[in-house]
Amino acid sequence: MQSEIGVVFDCNVLLQAAARKSSPSAACLRLAENEFVRLYISEEILTEVAEVMNRPKVRERFPELTDGIVEEFLDQLKSMAETIKHTPKRFSYQRDVDDEPYINLAVEAEADYIVSRDKDLLDLMTSYADEGKDFRRRFRPLKVIDPMEFLKEMEKTQSGGV
């Protein structure tokens, strides 16, 4: 049975999940694989993830990311995630425009969480800057949290906590 908890993982979480099977990010991805959460993705994000995983510097840092592993990971991602075809731009984030696709995907999919290790995204939840205030006002139920915090939230959910 597919979960009602919707989530978007950003590129750095997906990269860590692919490269480090024992990482918190990989544990988050296993929640989607086992249908404890509903993972959303877009073609734009899949393209970015593929591009990042094929960068020479990334391959140097994570030698386990061979062509075969990357291809298998992307195929797995496509099969476990719900691909949202059209994500209109509902939020502009001047601080880091590269984060906009994740925010707009989460808004379009009505996701509950964006899971990220990116400071710019995480700061949306605490920033007193106009963008952070606007994000929280307009998209109140949407939370941006890191992988460890997401795992804690899901543990509470699974154990019946609030």
Question: What are the residue ranges spanned by the domains of the chain?
Answer: 6-154
pLDDT above 70: percentage of residues in the chain: 96
Give the other-Cβ count within 10 Å of 46's Cβ: 16
Two structure tokens written together for 26? 């990989």
User: Residue 2 has what pLDDT?
Assistant: 54
Mean predicted confidence (pLDDT) in 30-57: 96
Question: Between 3.40.50.11610, 3.90.330.10, 3.40.50.300, 3.40.50.1010, what CATH number should domain 6-154 receive?
Answer: 3.40.50.1010
Choose between 149 and 135: higher pLDDT: 149
Section 91-101 average pLDDT: 83
Output the pLDDT for position 98: 87
Q: How many CB atoms lie within 10 A of CB 2?
A: 9
CA angle 110, 114, 120 (to 5 degrees): 130
Question: Which pLDDT band, with edges at 50, 70 and 90, does 95 fall under?
Answer: confident
Confidence at residue 160, expressed as pLDDT on a 0 to 100 scale: 63
How far apart are alpha carbons 19 and 65 in whole angstroms? 6
Residue 1 pLDDT > 70: no
At 97-116, the pLDDT tens digits run 888 999 999 999 999 999 99
